[in-house]
Amino acid sequence: MSPDPGRAFAVEPWVVREPRLDLDRMGQVESVFALSNGHIGLRGNLDEGEPHAMPGTYLNSFYERRPLPYAEGGYGYPESGQTIINVTNGKLIRLLVEDEPFDLRYGQLHRHERVLDLRAGTLTREVEWASPAGRVVRVRSTRMVSLTQRAIAAICYEVEVLDEPALLVVQSELVANEQLPGRDEADPRVEAALTDPLVAEQHRSAEASATLLHRTRRSGLRVAAAMDHEVHGPDGVKVTTEATEDIGRTTVIARLEPGRTLRLVKYLAYGWSSRRSLPALHDQVRAALAAARYTGWDGLVAEQRQYLDEFWETADVEIDGDAELQQAVRLATFHVLQAGARAERRAIGAKGLTGEGYDGHTFWDTETFCLPVLSHLAPEAAADALRWRQSILPLAYERAEQLGLGGAAFPWRTIRGQECSGYWPAGTAAFHINADIADAVRRHVAATGDEVFEREVGLELVVATARLWRSLGHHDSSGQFRIDGVTGPDEYTAIVDNNVYTNLMAQQNLRVAADTAARHARAAARLGVNAEEMASWRDAAKSMRIPFDDVLGVHPQAEGFTNHQVWDFEATPPQMYPLLLNVPYFDLYRKQVIKQADLVLAMQLRPDAFSLEQMRRNFAYYESLTVRDSSLSACTQAVVAAWTGHLDLAYDYLGEAALVDLDDLAGNSDHGVHIASMAGTWTAVVSGFGGMRMDAGGTGGISFAPRLPPALSRISFGLRWQGRQLRVEIRPGEAEYRLVSGPPMRLHHHGEPLALGDEAQVREIPALDPVDPVEQPYGRVPKGRHPGS
Amino acid sequence: MSPDPGRAFAVEPWVVREPRLDLDRMGQVESVFALSNGHIGLRGNLDEGEPHAMPGTYLNSFYERRPLPYAEGGYGYPESGQTIINVTNGKLIRLLVEDEPFDLRYGQLHRHERVLDLRAGTLTREVEWASPAGRVVRVRSTRMVSLTQRAIAAICYEVEVLDEPALLVVQSELVANEQLPGRDEADPRVEAALTDPLVAEQHRSAEASATLLHRTRRSGLRVAAAMDHEVHGPDGVKVTTEATEDIGRTTVIARLEPGRTLRLVKYLAYGWSSRRSLPALHDQVRAALAAARYTGWDGLVAEQRQYLDEFWETADVEIDGDAELQQAVRLATFHVLQAGARAERRAIGAKGLTGEGYDGHTFWDTETFCLPVLSHLAPEAAADALRWRQSILPLAYERAEQLGLGGAAFPWRTIRGQECSGYWPAGTAAFHINADIADAVRRHVAATGDEVFEREVGLELVVATARLWRSLGHHDSSGQFRIDGVTGPDEYTAIVDNNVYTNLMAQQNLRVAADTAARHARAAARLGVNAEEMASWRDAAKSMRIPFDDVLGVHPQAEGFTNHQVWDFEATPPQMYPLLLNVPYFDLYRKQVIKQADLVLAMQLRPDAFSLEQMRRNFAYYESLTVRDSSLSACTQAVVAAWTGHLDLAYDYLGEAALVDLDDLAGNSDHGVHIASMAGTWTAVVSGFGGMRMDAGGTGGISFAPRLPPALSRISFGLRWQGRQLRVEIRPGEAEYRLVSGPPMRLHHHGEPLALGDEAQVREIPALDPVDPVEQPYGRVPKGRHPGS
């Protein structure tokens, strides 16, 4: 139950327990313990605010503008960026014991435990503390961000005096413009800090409640935060509330006898708008607060558990034989849900709402890693994320026009839709994001069979992106359709011709657009699509150039890639990684060294474009070049390793993807958790070991090719499939398919058709052909989890 | 004699005359009329300071640091830039007529004429002006920056009262931290402005003289400016001088009768140092001033003319048949001399010392365009510029190490040697600058035969750069030596593999290093060069990959270039040019559109690597893609057009190169003149129409293949050649070679050997084979100068 030395958390199946406080890991733990419903995010800061690594209270898409400076500017460079900001902090509950503040850095800490309960959706804390003067108190708090009431968070805070009677003062606060710690600006991945971004507009207080309204200085957004309290304490407890511009404060004073408890339930409501008036926004949060009080603490807790019970019924992945992995996979699934659950037509960021890493931006991660999971576990959240993309199409059309292109060019990184990338070779040039969005549409439609969504949302997205590709590529004199001068997923290469990933994804984008337009002819006509245009998409797709190196017998990542010098891995000591912090882009771009799966990701997402033999050769080749300086790599390598028969390696990579934040493998979990790697964990299990693939289109099929890595005795996973709930169990030598709900269906098991009705079906897993081992670059072998490693 | 409407200057053979003041062209004229000796530069501002476009007083390599900001940073990005600054202005002479300031914007201007005299090396001004109150004065000033006394500038200023007696007050000043006009920051080519960069350290004044000492705030350089005066006026003239921190002011008061003249000679001395103490620097400029006063105004004027007479004896290019071109070629030659004459182991900037464009930085322009001219006209200046490169080798070794490379990596842009490029794809990646420096060494040694220079300076430069190439390139599996991921001269393409220009120049660099090391074995051994290393250079040179497109029968500018989409020139209206201000780099890089000669420059500098047939095909192909958005293009196109038989086109390009500043063809002459285009003008005549080529090495030969464009009746040019002075005259059908001084020599005329002694030799010019016409991109045809155009 105790964590290894060097780990922050204990291993348990359904909870993440921090058995003792470790100030050095505070940032990581704040991120892992962040609670969110996709609309509100609260980092796992201590109730009393300090000590902290980074206090964080976030609202989805609430941002401030900041200038993007350039030593040498250029046409089309975005001049203004967007950055997520820490809004009014409502988590704060300070405590004074007699005349001494409850601060863990002073006095004596007898016990400190925090537990993130993945089924309850709560973060609970238990502390026993002796003040410097020797008064012993027990504090117990439970915090939640409601998945059922989108605007609401709540905290139940209890103090018990253990030794002698004591006068307690509890200050429950709303604080705007919190003082933030400085950050290491030398790391380009670290976000820019913004000081005092909120301008006070209104403050109100009543008995046990307060409301603060602010607006951002530059982006002009308005935010309202309100709190209300229920206090249960001894007779004579006194409750007052005051508010000033940046602070709302409810003060509770009580003299407590030993063994007695002072209990405070704090309800928090948040709202923001770019358009609504002060009174409208004020009333909105007060109404949400009234509903939450009406539901009550117990009611909120019950709703939360019910919501999660329903979620886990489908979503739970069971792993027998690796308790650490079991916990990690559940935590990962939980964070993916938290990121998307109630985002509701707003962006899902790379860090969810768990930290300020990457300025809170949304990248291609969402569509490529996150949505394919949500489409199977929380389809409405996936649909809403794509509806958000549709809502920013006007900006994407504008950006394409600025770049001299047709169709839509979605931003590489953004909060509200404007391009915020300040380095175009790895931003604007990474056009694959547009095909990634189309791919997420394709997968969502295949997973849900939702034709209304396809017609009303999907169609416009695939048409707009197909038009982009048609204008971005061109036919060369031999008739091949080329896409030159773009950047693929691997950020250690940029501005290349015919990146295989990009071209394959664009090819699919063009085909899906033509097919979708054919299926929804009238809706397509309203978008101006005609038969000529559809034919031109099909033709470009058919003529798409996919370079192949005949000498090596592998696909080059892009034209000419395999001619480049191979990075000198032997001469690269461990402290040089991640390379981007220690080597110029210039040197990375011109050599064979890969930050993250690129050609290998192409094989995961377009398996139809590769023979098994090609897949094996390609995987071996790229495995020897990939250093995994990105957290968007291990999960993909896990999938393709499993497909190519490297089950032990797949298992190691699954571990790396799953433990990225629990073990802080990238060293930057303090900036927020890695949502894409967490989503990729699920995919590594389901697509990798489960071998799940879907055909494109609304009525396509689904197939599995399960394989159990030798280290595990059982894997069980569930997913939603076109209105059904399906569960698959992989056991040594066999797999079982079970329809939990929904009409009978057909699927394929290792290529063999299978009809699934009420009765579970068990099928044998065919033996695995032996494969030659593959090698990673010197020093970049993943941590071995598998037996014998 | 009057300029065309739309032109600032009149056409005359030896002077550039501005017949009337045009406030709209003030910036251009200030640049064209800038005087410099390579150490001090004074823009052609009016004596009284205002109105102005940009006041400018520059000292070579005197700069301030400024931060280079990045929206997204990266390893190895320079964090601090260097920018030339306007130092203490000593040109200022203000005049009060009765109680009204002499300001051309008020009162009535009867006459205003300025003349830059290319033989005298002076800028003369004559003004007749009626004050708002009606007093008429005539002001006559002559300004010079001494080519013989490096620290000295001088002004002779005369005022005559024309109608009635008047009280005149003349204030002759030194002003530090002048207020500068704001600049258009949206244009990336425009330099960053710096406010009040100078911190006062000391000020002194005496009778008619003053000295100001300042240091820069961040770069910590110290500058001293001193002035002294001789005053000739009526009895009762009163002279006083005062000084404060930023101002030294000599005031001359005189009551002048009509027809009488007040005459003031102002001597100015400048000095700067990063190391010398206040008293040392103070004394240094006072000593220079004493020497100048001792020489006297007439003496300075006489020295200046003698210096220029000697220069023009070799340097003059005579053009019969095009008076405009005749003037332009002389102005161009004059500015090239001014930029380099007394730079003395400091950098020669892209704008010389005529403006603040490009922050005053030095690029590859110096070695590729400027030094090959100076090696033939002012060899010591060229040698000194290369000695400056040698002096910054420690920084270049450091930079190479930071980039993970061997040898030396010279900065793409700098003032003092540190890399100041804030956009690495067009900065750091443009490694060709290193081969360009080696090429300038090669040319200088060939032109001068100076073996001491070769051993002491050239050897280290070619070895350091050869080592860079050896580490930057690699052998691929087929044994070819590739240079991947670099940027060639054309800035509309970046980060490419095997840029032909780069590879050919690197090839030559490697060969020259091996050959030079062999010639100076002991000196080479001291640099650690051994036979193995020399063999590895020769091997890399021999195996150098030079891509060729067999289908089109042309060299691609870089690997894969000819597969890219051709820019849609027909859809590009004139106002879209220069494209870099209206199109994202992303779009430029991935298409076939060329800013400036790249493959064509390779043909100019490495003619040995191309057959005539290849040269013709390549020229035609690239001609159709080159938009000349850079001033570093027309001169090169002129040379290769002449070589491939397109004499009319060569003539048009020569005109464009020559008139870049006289006609402000790039629209930015206000930021300083285009030294490289001016140098390229001479090269277009001598290498283009003269067909001059040199073999490499200290005792190599020289050859000519003269051709006269139909529009001209005669071209005559001179050059220094291994201690000789040679003059070549091209006439219809024949060419004459004359040895002005020096021992007999051999040369080639159109491939035919020719021995040249005391007697001039005349040879027939063989008939030109007819060639197919070539075409420029739509809308980018050069202005036709040739008959019938």
Interface list for B 67-106 with A (CB within 8 A): 68-78, 81
pLDDT at res. B186: 42
pLDDT at res. B699: 59
Contacts of B528 (CB under 8 A, 6+ apart): none
Average predicted confidence (pLDDT) for chain B: 95
Write out pLDDT tens, residues B216-258: 999 999 999 999 999 999 999 999 999 999 999 999 999 999 9
**Using CA atoms, how far apart are residues B271 and A13, in angstroms rounded to an integer?**
77
**Using CA atoms, how far apart are residues B386 and B346, in angstroms rounded to an integer?**
9
What is the biggest distance separating any 2 CA atoms in chain A, rounded to whole angstroms? 90
In chain B, what percentage of residues exceed pLDDT 70? 97
| CA terminus-to-terminus distance, chain A | 24
ipTM of the complex: 0.91
Q: Is the pLDDT assigned to residue A192 strictly greater than 50?
A: no
CB contact under 8 A, A495 and B494: yes
CB B158 within 8 A of CB B127: no
Q: Is the pLDDT assigned to residue B185 strictly greater than 70?
A: no
Range A550-567 average pLDDT: 97
Write out pLDDT tens, residues B546-585: 999 999 999 999 999 999 999 999 999 999 999 999 999 9
Substitution target in B68, B75, B478 with the highest count of A β-carbons within 10 Å is B75
Average predicted confidence (pLDDT) for chain A: 95
Range B172-197 average pLDDT: 69
CB contact under 8 A, B495 and A494: yes
pLDDT at res. B787: 81
**Using CA atoms, how far apart are residues B662 and B716, in angstroms rounded to an integer?**
22
pLDDT at res. B180: 82
Write out pLDDT tens, residues B394-413: 999 999 999 999 999 999 99
Shortest alpha-carbon distance between residue B633 and chain A (Å): 21
pLDDT at res. A196: 86
SS3 B689: helix
Record the pTM. 0.94
Nearest Cα neighbor of B485 from B537, B560, B579, B593 is B560
SS3 B248: strand
User: What confidence category does residue B182 fall into, taking pLDDT thresholds of 50, 70 and 90?
Assistant: low
DSSP-derived letter for residue B353 is T
Interface list for B 425-454 with A (CB within 8 A): 425, 428-429
User: What confidence category does residue A699 fall into, taking pLDDT thresholds of 50, 70 and 90?
Assistant: low
Write out pLDDT tens, residues B121-143: 999 999 999 999 999 999 999 99
Nearest Cα neighbor of B153 from B184, B122, B183 is B122
Q: Is the pLDDT assigned to residue B779 strictly greater than 50?
A: yes
**Using CA atoms, how far apart are residues A300 and A288, in angstroms rounded to an integer?**
13
Write out pLDDT tens, residues A8-52: 999 999 999 999 999 999 999 999 999 999 999 999 999 999 999
CB contact under 8 A, A485 and B75: no
CB A730 within 8 A of CB A714: yes
Neighbours of A785 (CB within 10 A): 21
The residues of A that are catalytic are: 491
Q: Which residues of A touch B560 (CB under 8 A)?
A: 484, 497, 559-560
pLDDT at res. A186: 42
Closest chain B CA to residue A472? B587
CB contact under 8 A, A584 and B70: no
pLDDT at res. A57: 98
CB A642 within 8 A of CB A650: yes
Interface list for B 175-194 with A (CB within 8 A): 186, 188
Phi then psi dihedrals of residue B708, to 5 deg: -105, 125
Residue A94 in tokens: 């300070």
pLDDT at res. A79: 87
Q: Which residues of B touch A68 (CB under 8 A)?
A: 71
Range B376-387 average pLDDT: 98
Substitution target in B470, B590, B595 with the highest count of A β-carbons within 10 Å is B590
Range A777-781 average pLDDT: 97
HEC letters along B138-160: EEEEEEEECCCCCCEEEEEEEEE
Q: Give the amino acid at A660.
A: V
Closest chain A CA to residue B571? A404
If 0-12 CB within 10 Å is exposed, 13-18 middle and 19+ buried, where does residue A699 land?
A: exposed
Interface list for B 590-609 with A (CB within 8 A): 590-591
Distance from the Cα of residue A504 to its chain's centroid? 25
CB contact under 8 A, A71 and B581: no
Write out pLDDT tens, residues B290-326: 999 999 999 999 999 999 999 999 999 999 999 999 9
CB contact under 8 A, B74 and A587: no
* DSSP per-residue string spanning B648-673: HHHHHHHHHHHTTTTTTTTS-GGG--
* DSSP per-residue string spanning A252-316: EEEEE-TT-EEEEEEEEEEEEESS--HHHHHHHHHHHHHHHHHHHHHHHHHHHHHHHHHHHHHH-
Closest chain B CA to residue A74? B188
Q: Is the pLDDT assigned to residue A700 strictly greater than 90?
A: no
Helix/strand number for chain A, H first, E second:
19, 32
Helix/strand number for chain B, H first, E second:
19, 32
Q: Is the pLDDT assigned to residue A387 strictly greater than 60?
A: yes
CB contact under 8 A, A403 and B70: no
Q: Is the pLDDT assigned to residue A188 strictly greater than 70?
A: no
Substitution target in B398, B563, B582, B588 with the highest count of A β-carbons within 10 Å is B563
Range B522-526 average pLDDT: 98
pLDDT at res. B177: 95
Q: Inform me whether the C-beta atom of residue A565 falls under 8 Å from chain B C-beta atoms.
A: yes
pLDDT at res. A190: 37
Helix/strand/coil percent split, chain B, to 5: 35, 25, 40
Contacts of B299 (CB under 8 A, 6+ apart): none
**Positive or negative torsion for Cα A719, A725, A729, A730:** negative
CB B76 within 8 A of CB A586: yes
pLDDT at res. B697: 54
**Using CA atoms, how far apart are residues B515 and B506, in angstroms rounded to an integer?**
14
Range A460-488 average pLDDT: 97
Neighbours of A67 (CB within 10 A): 12
Substitution target in A65, A75, A471, A577 with the highest count of B β-carbons within 10 Å is A75
Give kind and range of the element (H or E) at residue A714.
strand A714-721
Q: Is the pLDDT assigned to residue A201 strictly greater than 50?
A: yes
Write out pLDDT tens, residues B76-118: 999 889 999 999 999 999 999 998 999 999 999 999 999 999 9
CB contact under 8 A, A495 and B589: yes
DSSP-derived letter for residue A366 is I
Give kind and range of the element (H or E) at residue A117.
strand A108-117
CB contact under 8 A, B560 and A563: no
CB contact under 8 A, A584 and B494: no
pLDDT at res. A5: 64
User: What confidence category does residue B6 fall into, taking pLDDT thresholds of 50, 70 and 90?
Assistant: confident
Cis, bond preceding A743 (omega within 30 deg of 0): no
CB B114 within 8 A of CB B17: yes
Nearest Cα neighbor of A374 from A346, A335, A324 is A335
Write out pLDDT tens, residues B325-373: 999 999 999 999 999 999 999 999 999 999 999 999 999 999 999 999 9
Interface list for B 497-516 with A (CB within 8 A): 497
Q: Is the pLDDT assigned to residue A320 strictly greater than 80?
A: yes
Q: Which residues of B touch A428 (CB under 8 A)?
A: 584, 586
Phi then psi dihedrals of residue A101, to 5 deg: -70, 140
pLDDT at res. B196: 86
Shortest alpha-carbon distance between residue A561 and chain B (Å): 10
Q: Which residues of B404-435 are buried (b: 16+ CB within 10 A; e: fewer)?
A: bbbbbbbbbbbbbbbbbbbbbbbbbbbbbbbb
Shortest alpha-carbon distance between residue B192 and chain A (Å): 10
User: What confidence category does residue B37 fall into, taking pLDDT thresholds of 50, 70 and 90?
Assistant: very high
Q: Which residues of B touch A76 (CB under 8 A)?
A: 583-584, 586
CB contact under 8 A, A583 and B404: yes
Distance from the Cα of residue B650 to its chain's centroid? 21
Q: Give the amino acid at A1.
A: M
Residue B140 in tokens: 């006559």
Interface list for B 101-160 with A (CB within 8 A): none
Write out pLDDT tens, residues B444-457: 999 999 999 999 99
